[in-house]
C-alpha cells in the first residue's frame, strides 16, 4: 500500500519558514523535528522570500476594476433578461397562449 502524502496548510508552512528565517535552528534540525525533507523546507523558504514583495503591493486598483467589470456584466445580463422577457410575451401574444 502506498503511503499518503502529507499536506500542510499555508499557516503551517509560514510558521516553519519563520522558524527557518529566525536561524535559531538549522534547516536539517527543523526537518528532522517535523518529519519533512530539508529540500522541501528550503523550497518553501525560497518561495516565501521571492513572493515577499507581493505583501506590500496595493491591489485596490485591481479590485476596483474587477468590481466595475462585475457590475457591467450584471447590467448586461439584466438587459438580456428584459429583452428575452419582451420577446416571450410577444410570442405568447401572437400564438394566442
4 and 44 inside one domain: yes
Based on the domain organization, do 9 and 51 belong to the same domain? yes
Residue 53 above 90 pLDDT?
Answer: no
CB contact burial 70-90 (16+ within 10 A = b; e otherwise)? eeeeeeeeeeeeeeeeeeeee
Q: Is the pLDDT of residue 61 over 80?
A: no
- Name the average pLDDT for the chain: 91
What is the number of structural domains in the chain? 2
pLDDT band, residue 84 (cuts 50/70/90): very high
Q: Is the pLDDT of residue 95 over 80?
A: yes
Residue 59 or residue 18, greater confidence: 18
DSSP helix/strand/coil, 63: helix
Asked if 46 and 89 sit in the same domain, the reply is no
- Residue 9: count of CB within 10 angstroms of its CB: 8
What domain range includes position 68?
58-97
Answer whether 40's CB lies under 8 Å from 27's CB: no
**Is residue 48 domain-shared with residue 87, that is, in the same domain?**
no
pTM: 0.57
**pLDDT over 90 at 30, yes or no:** yes
Amino acid at each position: 500500500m502506498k503511503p499518503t502524502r502529507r499536506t500542510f496548510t499555508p499557516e503551517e508552512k509560514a510558521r516553519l519558514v519563520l522558524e527557518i528565517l529566525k536561524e535559531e535552528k538549522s534547516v536539517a534540525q527543523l526537518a528532522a523535528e517535523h518529519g519533512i525533507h530539508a529540500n522541501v523546507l528550503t523550497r518553501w523558504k525560497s518561495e516565501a522570500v521571492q513572493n515577499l514583495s507581493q505583501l506590500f503591493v496595493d491591489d485596490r486598483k485591481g479590485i476596483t476594476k474587477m468590481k466595475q467589470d462585475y457590475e457591467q456584466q450584471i447590467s448586461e445580463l439584466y438587459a438580456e433578461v428584459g429583452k428575452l422577457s419582451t420577446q416571450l410575451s410577444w410570442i405568447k401574444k401572437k400564438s394566442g397562449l
